[in-house]
Amino acid sequence: MAEFTTKDIRNIILVGHSGCGKTTLAEAMLLKNGIINKMGTIDEGNTVSDFNPDEKERKISIDLAVMHCEHKGAKINILDAPGYPDFVGTAISGMAATETAVIVVNAAAGIELNTRKMWELAGKKGLGRAIVINRMDGDTADAAKLLEELQADFGRQCIPANLPVGQGAAFKGVESTITPSESPQQTTGGSVAETGEKFIEAVVEVDEALMEKYLEEGAVPTETMKKAIPSAIAGGSLVPVFFTAAPGTTGVVELLDAIVECFPSPLKGLKRNLAAEGEDAEPAPVDPAGADLVGQVFRAKVDPFVGRLSFIRVHSGTLASEGSVLNERTGKPEKTQNLLIIQGKDTEHISRLVSGDIGALAKAESLSVNDTVCSAEKPAKLEEIIFPIPMVALAVEPKSRKDEQKISESLNKLSEEDRTFGVGRDRQTKELVVRGTSQFHLDIMLARLKSRFEVEVTSRLPKIAYLETVTAKAEGHYRHKKQTGGRGQFGECYVRIEPLPRGEGFQFVNSVFGGAVPSNFIPAIEKGVREQLEKGVIAGCQFVDVKLELYDGSFHSVDSDEISFKISGARAFRDAAEKAKPVLIEPVVDIEVTVPAKFMGDISGDLSSKRGRIVGMDSIGNFQVIKAKVPMSEIGRYSTELRSITGGEGSYTIEFSHYDVVPGRLAEGVIAKAKRPEEE
């Protein structure tokens, strides 16, 4: 493969709603550059990017695919992200390694749910953005209408870099608005000349000298303008729009030309920051032209043929295949002889990756997502990639006893690949719980657990992690006295209990004076109380947010010991807690549901029926965002319910908010259920 410098590299990520044609567009780009001889199709399961068995079976993209091609002397790294919101973590990974997000829109469907989400995500991450209106050969394609929608929803900076010549079955090409031909063809969606003027105006905004020249002379030399376009895209003042029909490759070469000529290179695009050291320190951007190696692992994958792959974006310096690099997190060296470039499922050994390039290290067992690789002489740490916290949960257990030792290790390997998939044992319920972005996401991951690691599980909704607390002040007392012949047991404690603000935990205060309880027994009393906190008082749930004061007691010079005071402390706490109006509290989440406006009433009513409290609403284009606070116990199956209500057109996110008191009637049911096993 040819050698490239940083200025010759372009890194793009294809994002958008499922079915918009991202994978097919990537195939067309590879075909036009001779990487493949024939375009694969999703139905046949032979595309470069969708190569995993579950992707072929389900005919959807699930993982982030990495590809590359050479075009007009430049290397284009193409990352293809799934179109389902369930796999947003992969898009976040890819955006951490690229300068430009190419948002692909289905000409027939227009702006869809994940179109908007990817637009907002790319903006939040600081990437340059471009839009490709794909499938212009569809029967219902309407360029003028689509451009109007884009500009209304995303802003007037969305300006066509080319316009379609015909549409629907008559779509036969595109006409550039940047460098139109001397006799422009008849276009749809707007005038080439007028659109070209708007394009120039958006570009010159980023350069005062260029703006003055344009205002004075009414024109800017084409080559001068082209040099300014990357900065305009990187800065967000320009979002170029392109038109394609990927299956027939119409408009694809023109898109490739624009990527090379107009999209920002790593030198002009978004600069990633080094993590700030110290509270008052500011994060410093990495210089892509710097000599010191700084790279970041943005994705990890266990490949059945080459083993563990750590995908790396080099942000500064050169990553060479000879020698080793420092893993900043572990402080240990990592060998680099297995340095690769990626083409879907295929890999090729290379000697080095220059600043701005993307590749992978094989068999680098210590590397994880977010790790910074750097030189041992000059350690550095990049800001971490932030992933959403997975909140949709299932409790799992292996079907076979032989898999009990294997299941945790296998699930942890899957979580290393996907940072929106979490696994852990709930400290309260003792269940092994997996968490993801949706039920569909969890279904995919558990299917992979079976296919990759041969571990089958049964799953169910996890138990709700209820807690207990008190709502009033009270006093408690317990005298522990036991005589069975010989030395007995004796310990007596008097305590006061009171509630603390939510989230304060537990405070133990020793107010004993005059030697009523010897100081050497105080730790035993606190230990007994803390053990009782774990067991709970009314429903076997952990007790929280209480202050317990030990203010008096008595002891026996012979019979008192640590065991006696441990028991006495625990029972005195229980006595006080039972008198202090104990209550059960439950986790409440913040939920944001995004749906087409026509479903707003149905969703609001459904959330209210789940004891939800609507706290706000936003309107974004044709979509409504309903914000509410809902008890976790009410939304265990919400992804399935939302899909049923909206026909798959809705999505939601949840985050933990706080704990709140369970209503009396419901609390009685939880308490009765908790006591039933004890009685049995």
Residue at a domain's end among 346, 374, 402: 374
Which residues constitute the domain of residue 357?
273-277+285-374
Task: Name which residue leads in pLDDT, 190 or 576.
Answer: 576
CATH classification at residue 506:
3.30.230.10
Q: How far apart are CA 86 and CA 643, in angstroms?
A: 12
Please report whether residue 649 resides in a domain: yes
Query: What pLDDT, on the 0 to 100 scale, is given for residue 374?
Result: 96
Q: How far apart are CA 185 and CA 298, in angstroms?
A: 44
What percent of the chain has a predicted confidence (pLDDT) above 90? Answer: 78
Please report whether residue 236 resides in a domain: yes
pLDDT (average), residues 519-532: 96
Please report whether residue 489 resides in a domain: yes
3-state secondary structure of 216: helix
Q: How far apart are CA 384 and CA 165, in angstroms?
A: 44
Whether 504 and 644 share a structural domain? no
Does residue 677 register a pLDDT over 60?
A: no
Does residue 680 register a pLDDT over 50?
A: no
In sequence order, which ranges of 252-367 are alpha helices (DSSP H)?
252-262
Whether 128 and 249 share a structural domain? yes
Give how far Cα 260 sits from Cα of 77, 353, 661, Å.
11, 19, 59
CATH classification at residue 440:
3.30.70.870
Q: How confident is the model at residue 676 (pLDDT cuts 50, 70, 90)?
A: low
CATH classification at residue 595:
3.30.70.240
Give the predicted TM-score (pTM) of the model.
Answer: 0.86
Pick the closest to residue 492 from 482, 500, 502, 507 (CA basis). Answer: 482
Q: How far apart are CA 168 and CA 519, in angstroms?
A: 87
Whether 199 and 67 share a structural domain? yes
- pLDDT tens for 450-481 read 999 999 999 999 989 899 999 999 999 999 99
Mean pLDDT score of the chain, rounded to an integer?
A: 92
Q: How far apart are CA 136 and CA 144, in angstroms?
A: 12
Whether 410 and 509 share a structural domain? no
For 169, which DSSP code? G
Joined tokens for residue 106: 């289905």
| Range in 64-73, 216-225, 268-277, 627-636 the model is least confident about | 216-225
Please report whether residue 674 resides in a domain: no
- Residues sharing a CB contact under 8 Å with residue 221, sequence separation 6 or more, in sequence order: none
- pLDDT tens for 168-181 read 999 999 999 998 88
Does residue 112 register a pLDDT over 50?
A: yes
Whether 431 and 477 share a structural domain? no
**Could you tell me how far CA 40 lies from the centroid of its own chain?**
29
Please report whether residue 486 resides in a domain: yes
Q: How far apart are CA 398 and CA 169, in angstroms?
A: 54
- Residue 248 phi, psi dihedral angles, 5° rounding: -95, 0
Q: How confident is the model at residue 563 (pLDDT cuts 50, 70, 90)?
A: very high
Please report whether residue 349 resides in a domain: yes
- Asked if 394 and 377 count as a contact pair (C-beta separation under 8 A), the reply is no
The kind and range of the H/E element at 448 are helix 439-453
- pLDDT tens for 336-368 read 999 999 999 999 999 999 999 999 999 888 899
| Backbone region of residue 331 per phi and psi (left: phi > 0; alpha: psi in -120 to 50; beta: other values) | left
- pLDDT tens for 267-324 read 999 999 999 877 677 788 999 999 999 999 999 998 767 778 999 999 999 999 988 9
Q: How confident is the model at residue 228 (pLDDT cuts 50, 70, 90)?
A: very high
Query: What pLDDT, on the 0 to 100 scale, is given for residue 379?
Result: 93
Query: What pLDDT, on the 0 to 100 scale, is given for residue 1?
Result: 60
Does residue 123 register a pLDDT over 90?
A: yes
Extended strands (E) in 399-525: 422-425, 432-436, 457-460, 467-470, 474-482, 489-499, 506-510
- Asked if 567 and 553 count as a contact pair (C-beta separation under 8 A), the reply is no
